Structure 1
Amino acid sequence: MTGFALVLAVPLVGCAGGSEAQAPARTVVSIAADGQTHRFDVEVARSEEAQQKGLMFRTELPKDGGMLFPFAKPKIASFWMKNTLIPLDMIFIRSDGSIDRIAENTIPESLEPVVSGGEVAAVLELAGGTAARLDLDEDATVTWKD
């Protein structure tokens, strides 16, 4: 197993405030499943620092919000929920947009690793329960613009 990508569990944490803080990059992620397309307006954690912080310390997440963790090259991804206060659904995405694994309702503040099943190009974190609410499974496909 590779080292923890603290970004996934931590990324749902709120942004550090301050007048010098730069707004996080955003993109629209689309998930196509069963003839429907679901769109999410998400923050993009591109830097190592942003990926380590992730969604940590946040107390809520909009139902159409989340965070995307794109990787420079595909890898086994491992996240934990340390300092993440809300449950998340983690969608592990392969390079072709197919879904490797969905970890539903991850446990807030858990130190247990949440690991992809294989090499992935990105991880999408959504509010816990989103995958079940939208009936998402590994047959769905995920796309976004860089």
Structure 2
Amino acid sequence: MMRMRKVGLEWLRAGLCIALLSWIGVAAPGSAGVRAAEFQPLEIGTRAGVRMFSVEMAATEEEKTKGLMYRKHLPDGQGMLFDFSPAQQVSMWMKNTYISLDMIFIGPDGRILRIAENTEPLSTRIISSGGLAKGVLEVIAGTAKKYGIAPGDRVSHPLFNGH
């Protein structure tokens, strides 16, 4: 009986240790290289007023390549901002992206160039910026229409400060 209790306590300690290490992201299998999203505030000035968003940044080539692929949900008011500095012609697609998005192409001065609304999930059709874009904001489909976001509206975010 004593031996079983000791073994039981060892298993309990081991389980707690694994749980703690997993919680802090050290020992969980498959967690290597996974980081929590860091959200930043972004504002869009529209005719109807200022709209606030919380965005994840996609700045590295790996982050830009993956984007919002494989996600099944994107809450209203959240999105992903792609950094394409310096400004350039940008082409996007929806390969491996399960949710319909609005893609908002933003020039170096922070003005919206173009909006591709209600993009088709899983499509490999190329969606072009239609001009030099420094950033692309992806939000859940219908956001632009819902909040009256239009070409010419100004986006406020550190990416566009100083052009």
Same fold (TM over 0.5): yes
* Greater gyration radius: 2
Runs of 4+ in 1 over 6 A off after TM superposition: none
TM-score normalised by length of structure 2: 0.76
Q: Which residue matches 2:65?
A: 52
Structure 1: runs of 5 or more not aligned: 1-16
Structure 1 position 20, deviation (Å): 4.7
TM-score normalised by length of structure 1: 0.84
Identity %: 42
The separation in 2 between residues aligned to 1:57 and 1:118, in whole angstroms, is 28
Structure 1 position 25, deviation (Å): 3.2
Q: Which residue matches 1:87?
A: 100
Match of 2:134 among 114, 121, 124: 121
Greater share of helix: 2
Whether contact under 8 Å (1:29, 1:144) holds in the other structure is yes
Greater share of strand: 1
Structure 2: runs of 5 or more not aligned: 1-29
Q: Which has the higher contact order (CA 8 A, sep 6+)?
A: 1
Q: Which residue matches 1:76?
A: 89
Q: Which residue matches 1:65?
A: 78
Aligned length: 130
> Alignment RMSD, CA only?
1.3
The separation in 1 between residues aligned to 2:131 and 2:107, in whole angstroms, is 8
Whether contact under 8 Å (1:42, 1:67) holds in the other structure is yes
Supply the AA of the counterpart residue of 1:129. G
